[in-house]
Amino acid sequence: MSYTSFSQIRADLSSGKTSVSGLVKEYLSAIDSNRELNAFLEVYPDEAVALAAEVDLKLAAGTAGRLAGMVIGLKDNICFAGHGVGASSKILGGFNSLFSATAVERLVAEDAIIIGRLNCDEFAMGSSNENSAFGPVLNPIDTSRVPGGSSGGSAAAVAARLCHAALGSDTGGSIRQPASFTGTVGLKPTYGRISRHGLIAYGSSFDQIGPITHSVEDAALLLEIMAGPDEFDSTAIQNPPEHYSALEPTTKPVRIAYLAECLESEGLDPEIRDFCNRQIEQLRSLGHTVEPVEFKELKYLVPTYYVLTTAEASSNLSRFDGMRYGYRSAEGKGVEGTIVKSRSEGFGKEVKRRIMLGTFVLSAGYYDAYYSKGQKMRRIIKEKTAGYLSSYDFIYTPTTPGVAFPLGKKSGDPIKMYLEDIFTVQANITGMPAISLPMGTNSEGLPFGIQLMANLNEDAKLLAFSRYLTEQVK
């Protein structure tokens, strides 16, 4: 299937060229033929086929929802009632969710079909999808390379056309980075724009659900449907969402800042740097103002992010103790012994590393030296970023320092892996919306993304300019 937008699917459904049942069967066949990618942990074939038949009847009767015909995969940290959810971790083995995430409920209410749950880095901790308890996901562009993480299964499934769209979660770039590595669109909305209810928490003040799609228009449609107030999430934005799907591409000139330190970074792939410089000149020739700005805090982004998120993870993951649900060690003796054994055996290496880091930075002797300073640095980063976005419409950077790297290349060096997030964590630290757009490929044919970030609650403006950039500038 070569659909690049949901509007194409709806056109074929209207003309009778295809049916929802036919689409679902094609996706199920594609999933079966691409099992080596390890993108899906579980598929719901019987359920999807039955729902597809119901949606076909609704379409015939004119009562179908706005997403009738859209087949969606869910990252394995987003709850779907009556189905397994495990954050790709052994610690949640055999656990079925009792409720659906608010975002999922809203998609299903519009007749989207959930086809399965997708592999990810364990508890969304990773940049390569090599940290899953169920093995790594392979990049469909080049199966010797990683798809990015932590939403690697979501990005790989969309890129390989195993589903039309997928949901991921983005704590520090976990939607945008794999989107860059797989040539897809990855959107992280403003923090709180989509309810976090039903998302297994990693860093609660950073986490955000968002879509991975083939087009900006599909990302806008999914955001419009999932966004909005939610009584189950006190951090959800109370204002109703805008009609993102009705937005036309931007036509008037805009002001864009780019971070000079990003494009001058020694770690940036030269081919990506050259592409960015050419695109900046092209934007200028089209009448847009594109200017460099200084951001000396770039070197503090990753340390600030990891100090604060590991602290939150240490607290959030304390609930997984083997006593009430999920994995319980058979060798545990007594309450404390069972908890220690279950957590030691149930969590993977990277998750244990981050829990220990978070516990350390929160400890009495180091709280002021690390966690307190991290919070102060977060405020400085947010204020400086907001200052630039009061003068400019967008901040432009590469999404990632390079293209998808070979499997195993960085898994032995946590620092190198953490630096994969250097351009993406700013949006999570500040809560601002950001998107990765599939704008270029290198000399080996590997894709890379360009990232745009806008001010808080300017998701509509971000999506409108993103449509312009992908449809008229590319």
Rg, Å, the chain Cα set: 21
Is 33 assigned a catalytic role? no
Tell me the C-alpha distance between 330 and 125, whole Å: 26
Quote the CA–CA distance of 432 and 425 in Å, as a whole number: 10
Q: Does the annotation mark 376 as catalytic?
A: no
Query: Of residues 150, 154, 195, 436, which has the active-site annotation?
Result: 150
- Torsions phi, psi for 447 (to 5 deg): -75, 160
The H-assigned helical ranges of 245-369 are 260-263, 270-285, 298-316, 334-346, 349-362
Please provide the distance, in angstroms rounded to a whole number, between the alpha carbons at the two ends of the chain. Answer: 23
Torsion of CA 409, 302, 404, 434, to 10 degrees: 170
What is the C-alpha separation between 233 and 227, in angstroms, rounded? 12
150 in catalytic set: yes
Q: Which residue has the tokens 């609660």?
A: 204
Set 154, 174, 180, 265: catalytic member: 174
Give the angle 15-16-18 at the CA atoms, nearest 5°. 120
- Give, for 398, the enclosing helix (H) or strand (E): strand 394-398
Q: Which amino acid is at 1?
A: M
Per the residue annotation, which of 19, 75, 97, 436 is the catalytic one? 75
Closest CA to 24 of 81, 72, 77: 72
Q: Which residues are catalytic?
A: 75, 150, 174
